[in-house]
Chains A and B, each alone.
Chain A
Amino acid sequence: MEYPLFEVTGLGGGMLIAIVAIVHVVIAQFAVGAGIYMAITHTVALRRNDQLLLRYLKDHAQFVVLLSFVLGALTGVGIWVTIGLVSPAATSRLIHNFVWGWAIEWCFFAIEIAAGYAYYYGWGRLSPRAHAATAWIYGIAAFMSLVVINGILCFMLTPGRWLGLTAETGGGAPLNPPLGFWLGFFNETYWPSLILRTISCLSLAAIFIAVIVNLYGNYTREERQRIINHGAWFMAPLVLMVPVGWWYFAQLPPTSLEFLRGGAVAMMMFLAFGVVVSVAIGLYAYFGLLRANRYVNLETSLLLLGCAFVATGSAEFVREGVRKPYVIYGYLYSNGIPALGEWPERINREGILAHAPFVLPPGMTPEEARALPLPEQGRFVFQAECRMCHELRGTNAIRSLISGKSRELLMMQVKELEQWGYMPPFHGTEGELKALIEYLVELDRGSDYQPPPPEYAHLPVSQILADRAEALAAELAILGREVQR
């Protein structure tokens, strides 16, 4: 609302976040699982003097550096860049509430990078004890970064008692700021989510081991099989996925649960995909790898990785989706309008255009905007309230949602948007609502209502209206001549 809009025509900002985030989550979770695997396996291999596992760990470390330290780290930066572009208000709130959480996570990240390089370059140079210590430091730091970031991610869906504290100050900082931090951090879904993510990290690491050992061509088939079967033990915690998942979903807000029970078919389907694929991977790990000690070739390991990607992507999609209509549950709507305090009432009284200066051309005041024809005003209202989630064509296309609907039906639906569950209510004056409906009607007729050309920005509004009237008169004259013919 208060920030300009980053337009990703056709795709939508939400999809851009999803693409970057899912790639990052898969790599970041692999990095955490790989760290735990490295620490445990290094110690075990040293004790057993298992030269094969030690040889593999060197390749494993190189792969971690090349994937996690490059693509993982940079897609992490990519998430920051993308959420700042698409949802600046939500990003700002999260940063101001959890800056110390993020700063602590940054410390773990710095340790992780330093330890990762020390481990990778330490082969043949560090003493066995120091080398094992670097592996453990890497593993612990990687896991702790998950412990921290998990709190912030869960907060967005279940801010819990923090919401009550911030409501007391009308959406500002809680009266007891440290208590607000901790209550928001250790929220309802924190513990089940941490366990679920840890299981996911370990499973991803096990699957990646099958990929890595097949990619590096310096192992015999028997050696590959032994490394893969050893790594498969890290998928054993998958057995906990279903009960912990149940615990997680039991903590969700009622409306979110309603979506998953069929209220939002897409959410339900994605959840089903995620569960089915996770269970399938778990069954394959148990029967194929742990009981039958089967060998996994490169193609199969890539297929398994693809399945894990789908499962992780589905889980993340569901986690994001069930938060609707909020971006921070109960606190900030997905279109950036605050849900608490005086804001909803104030916007209804003063109008959305008075609080969304960047949807208007530079220098135009809300009063000047209100003097424009209704569909043009409506276009500004659409930009301020709807465009963050709805493209004209493409993702969540507004055209297909309004197609063929009468003015009255549109009016009724927009007035009762919150009844849909996943839509934020309309905020604004009666006049803005009418303007929005007129814009939607025009849009359905096929007119995109492009903004006035830049030169208009320098002209007084009376001049713009006079120009428009002149253009309209000219069009009518042409039409009249056509009719006469």
Chain B
Amino acid sequence: MNLLLATPPVPPFDPLGLPAPTWVFEFLLALTMLLHLLFMNMTLGGAIVATVLDVLTLVRRGNHNLTVRVIWQMLPVTFSFTITTGVAPLLFVQVLYGQFFYTANIFLGFVWFALVPLLIVAFYLTYFLVYRLSSALSNRLGRWDRSPGKRLPFSAACALLFFTVSLILTSNHMLSIQPDQWAQGGEWVQNRLAVTPTTTHVRLGHNDLGAVVVCGLWLAGVGWWRRWRQVDPPEVAARITTTGLWVALPVMAVTAVFGLTFFFMLPGEVRGGLLRPGVYPVLWWLGLLALVGQIFHALMALQRPQEFRWFAGLAGCAVVTLVGMVAAREAVRLGYLARGELFSREVWHQNVNTQLSPLILFVAMLVITLGTVGWLLWVSARARPAAGSRAV
């Protein structure tokens, strides 16, 4: 009997194979993961930032009531889009890595299932708080606009719930890429977070701090938008922008330190995968380069908050950095799975059975979706409150 699981049993690849060439799924996984990260980071980071800003207001380190309200007004929509955009990568992960993904889910068991009630409670808590705040969009006057003490327990609870969800997802991902961790202490893992704690915590820290950065950048953009649309007086809108950038810049540095630590904690062969020539490593390096661009544009936006180009550049660089992070995530996954020859991309290539007409229909549908959602955003953005609505 083996003492260690040198070769853990991995379920076989699905007999129905891949219904399109491998690169199609890898591209779709990366694309939809990028979309998911844009919204998820705002939601997770938003709850954390709102909590911290409420604490700062309570201890009289500035008045952040307006910024907190702006965050909470966005959260229900970003939360919905976090869920919606999260479904697609979940789908494509199952196509490519189902045998690892399902196994990790089952080992986490009830911890994995807990995602659902945790998210439901977090979503209703979000709405509970939102309906106690004013909203020009909904023509509603709130009672907790200037009550950080009342908001704090709810925003902290939301932040805690989101953090727990991110912990579960990170643990699930780490367990799915490390089959050698499936058995611990002579037993299969069952109903618990069971991954090398240090690596997971560092990765989790990197992800969650990254969410705070993205939230800061969102806020900076929203501040610019409110100034341009004259929703707020220029000095008030500039305060939202400044707060966002002052959140993003220092946390960006800490996030980078966590990222670097995680990089050096990776096993040698996995780390090597990020340094070899290839699409994922190149995208990762571009992402790191864009980080410098982010810092430059953020500093310029702080000085000239009325100029659009700095915000556009900042958003562009942030997206490139996120693309780099998605690429690094996939490279690390492949690096881990390649250890012990548990997985090879050959498995995919040998099992491609392209369903061409459904694939074409999907691509057409994706274009229609982007067009329709774009149109909906456009008409919503152009709309102005009706005459006589309550100004808040």
Residue of A nearest to B187 (CB): A454
Is B186 in contact with A456, judged by CB distance below 8 angstroms? yes
Residue of A nearest to B385 (CB): A125
Is B186 in contact with A361, judged by CB distance below 8 angstroms? yes
Q: Does B15 contact A (CB under 8 A)?
A: yes
Is B372 in contact with A2, judged by CB distance below 8 angstroms? no
Q: Does A455 contact B (CB under 8 A)?
A: yes
Is A99 in contact with B106, judged by CB distance below 8 angstroms? no
Tell me the complex Cα distance, A102–B367, Å: 16
Tell me the complex Cα distance, A178–B19, Å: 9
Min distance, Cβ A127 to any Cβ of chain B, angstroms: 8
Is A114 in contact with B112, judged by CB distance below 8 angstroms? no
Q: Which residues of A contact B116 (CB under 8 A)?
A: 20, 74-75, 77-78, 81
Q: Which residues of B contact A358 (CB under 8 A)?
A: 9, 103, 188
Residue of B nearest to A459 (CB): B1
Q: Does A473 contact B (CB under 8 A)?
A: no
Tell me the complex Cα distance, A92–B95, Å: 7
Residue of B nearest to A129 (CB): B379
Is A70 in contact with B120, judged by CB distance below 8 angstroms? yes
Tell me the complex Cα distance, A134–B369, Å: 14
Residue of A nearest to B358 (CB): A100
Interface string of A53-76 (1 = CB under 8 A from B): 000000000000110011101111
Which residue among B77, B90, B94, B389 has the maximum number of chain A CB atoms within 10 Å of its CB?
B94
Is A107 in contact with B369, judged by CB distance below 8 angstroms? yes
Q: Does B113 contact A (CB under 8 A)?
A: yes
Please classify how large the interface on chain A is, using the bins under 10, 10 to 19, 20 to 34, 35 or more: 35 or more
Residue of A nearest to B12 (CB): A2
Please tell me which one of the listed residues A66, A85, A117, A177 contacts residue B19 in the complex, with CB atoms under 8 A apart: A177
Contact (A458, B1) CB under 8 Å given A4-B188, A88-B106, A121-B138:
yes
Tell me the complex Cα distance, A101–B98, Å: 18
Is A177 in contact with B87, judged by CB distance below 8 angstroms? no
Q: Does B16 contact A (CB under 8 A)?
A: yes
Q: Which residues of B contact A233 (CB under 8 A)?
A: none
Residue of A nearest to B139 (CB): A124
Is A113 in contact with B17, judged by CB distance below 8 angstroms? no
Is A458 in contact with B186, judged by CB distance below 8 angstroms? yes
Tell me the complex Cα distance, A291–B8, Å: 68
Is B186 in contact with A92, judged by CB distance below 8 angstroms? no
Is A4 in contact with B113, judged by CB distance below 8 angstroms? no
Q: Which residues of B contact A99 (CB under 8 A)?
A: 19, 91-92, 95
Q: Does A181 contact B (CB under 8 A)?
A: yes
Q: Which residues of B contact A91 (CB under 8 A)?
A: 94, 98, 102
Tell me the complex Cα distance, A6–B102, Å: 10
Q: Does B278 contact A (CB under 8 A)?
A: no
Is B105 in contact with A106, judged by CB distance below 8 angstroms? no
Q: Does B366 contact A (CB under 8 A)?
A: yes
Counting residue pairs across A and B whose Cβ atoms lie within 8 Å, the total is 247
Listed stretches A268-276, A362-370, A408-416; interface member:
A362-370
Interface string of A124-154 (1 = CB under 8 A from B): 1110001000100100000000000000000
Contact (A126, B383) CB under 8 Å given A99-B19, A177-B19:
yes
Q: Does A423 contact B (CB under 8 A)?
A: no
Tell me the complex Cα distance, A338–B186, Å: 30
Please tell me which one of the listed residues A109, A126, A456 contacts residue B379 in the complex, with CB atoms under 8 A apart: A126
Min distance, Cβ A45 to any Cβ of chain B, angstroms: 17
Min distance, Cβ A71 to any Cβ of chain B, angstroms: 6
Is A84 in contact with B376, judged by CB distance below 8 angstroms? no
Q: Which residues A268-311 have CB closer than 8 A to chain B?
A: none
Q: Does B377 contact A (CB under 8 A)?
A: yes
Q: Does A203 contact B (CB under 8 A)?
A: no
Instruction: Determine the main DSSP class of A at the interface with B.
Output: helix
Q: Which residues B355-388 have CB closer than 8 A to chain A?
A: 355-359, 361-362, 365-366, 368-369, 372-373, 376-377, 379-380, 383-386
Is A111 in contact with B373, judged by CB distance below 8 angstroms? yes
Tell me the complex Cα distance, A95–B19, Å: 10
Q: Does B353 contact A (CB under 8 A)?
A: yes
Q: Does A461 contact B (CB under 8 A)?
A: yes
Min distance, Cβ A19 to any Cβ of chain B, angstroms: 11
Q: Does A182 contact B (CB under 8 A)?
A: yes
Is A118 in contact with B11, judged by CB distance below 8 angstroms? no
Contact (A457, B187) CB under 8 Å given A3-B103, A97-B16:
yes
Is A95 in contact with B98, judged by CB distance below 8 angstroms? yes
Min distance, Cβ A477 to any Cβ of chain B, angstroms: 29
Is B186 in contact with A454, judged by CB distance below 8 angstroms? yes
Min distance, Cβ B163 to any Cβ of chain A, angstroms: 18
Tell me the complex Cα distance, A101–B357, Å: 11
Contact (A137, B357) CB under 8 Å given A95-B91, A113-B81, A124-B386:
no
Q: Which residues of A contact B3 (CB under 8 A)?
A: 363, 458
Is B17 in contact with A368, judged by CB distance below 8 angstroms? no
Is A81 in contact with B127, judged by CB distance below 8 angstroms? no
Q: Does B282 contact A (CB under 8 A)?
A: no
Is B106 in contact with A100, judged by CB distance below 8 angstroms? no
Q: Does B124 contact A (CB under 8 A)?
A: yes
Q: Which residues of A contact B84 (CB under 8 A)?
A: 73, 106, 109-110, 113
Min distance, Cβ A104 to any Cβ of chain B, angstroms: 5
Please tell me which one of the listed residues A82, A104, A459, A460 contacts residue B113 in the complex, with CB atoms under 8 A apart: A82
Tell me the complex Cα distance, A111–B353, Å: 29
Q: Does B347 contact A (CB under 8 A)?
A: no
Q: Which residues B68-115 have CB closer than 8 A to chain A?
A: 76-77, 80-81, 83-88, 90-92, 94-95, 98-99, 101-103, 105-107, 109, 112-113, 115
Tell me the complex Cα distance, A110–B82, Å: 11
Q: Does B303 contact A (CB under 8 A)?
A: no
Interface string of A154-167 (1 = CB under 8 A from B): 00000000000010
Q: Which residues of A contact B277 (CB under 8 A)?
A: none
Is B1 in contact with A92, judged by CB distance below 8 angstroms? no
Min distance, Cβ B178 to any Cβ of chain A, angstroms: 14
Min distance, Cβ A428 to any Cβ of chain B, angstroms: 18
Q: Which residues of A contact B355 (CB under 8 A)?
A: 100, 177-178, 180-181
Q: Does B66 contact A (CB under 8 A)?
A: no
Residue of B nearest to A173 (CB): B353
Is B14 in contact with A96, judged by CB distance below 8 angstroms? yes
Is A103 in contact with B5, judged by CB distance below 8 angstroms? no
Tell me the complex Cα distance, A16–B114, Å: 13
Tell me the complex Cα distance, A82–B110, Å: 10
Please tell me which one of the listed residues B98, B99, B377 contacts residue A114 in the complex, with CB atoms under 8 A apart: B377
Please tell me which one of the listed residues A103, A364, A454, A456 contacts residue B362 in the complex, with CB atoms under 8 A apart: A103
Is A117 in contact with B124, judged by CB distance below 8 angstroms? no
Is A106 in contact with B91, judged by CB distance below 8 angstroms? yes
Q: Which residues of B contact A134 (CB under 8 A)?
A: 376, 379
Tell me the complex Cα distance, A301–B95, Å: 43
Tell me the complex Cα distance, A3–B102, Å: 8
17 contacts between A and B (CB under 8 A): A4-B106, A6-B106, A70-B127, A74-B83, A74-B123, A85-B113, A92-B98, A99-B92, A107-B365, A108-B369, A114-B373, A166-B16, A171-B15, A362-B5, A363-B186, A364-B1, A454-B187
Other than A104-B362, A109-B84, give 11 A-B pairs with Cβ distance below 8 A: A4-B106, A6-B106, A77-B119, A99-B95, A103-B362, A108-B365, A114-B372, A114-B377, A181-B358, A454-B187, A457-B1
B residues adjacent to A (C-beta < 8 A): 1-5, 8-9, 11-12, 14-20, 28, 76-77, 80-81, 83-88, 90-92, 94-95, 98-99, 101-103, 105-107, 109, 112-113, 115-116, 119-120, 123-124, 127, 137-139, 182-183, 185-188, 190, 351, 353-359, 361-362, 365-366, 368-369, 372-373, 376-377, 379-380, 383-386, 389
A residues adjacent to B (C-beta < 8 A): 2-7, 16, 20, 65-66, 69-71, 73-78, 80-82, 84-85, 88, 91-93, 95-97, 99-104, 106-111, 113-115, 117-118, 121-126, 130, 134, 137, 166, 171-174, 177-178, 180-182, 338, 357-358, 361-365, 368, 454-461
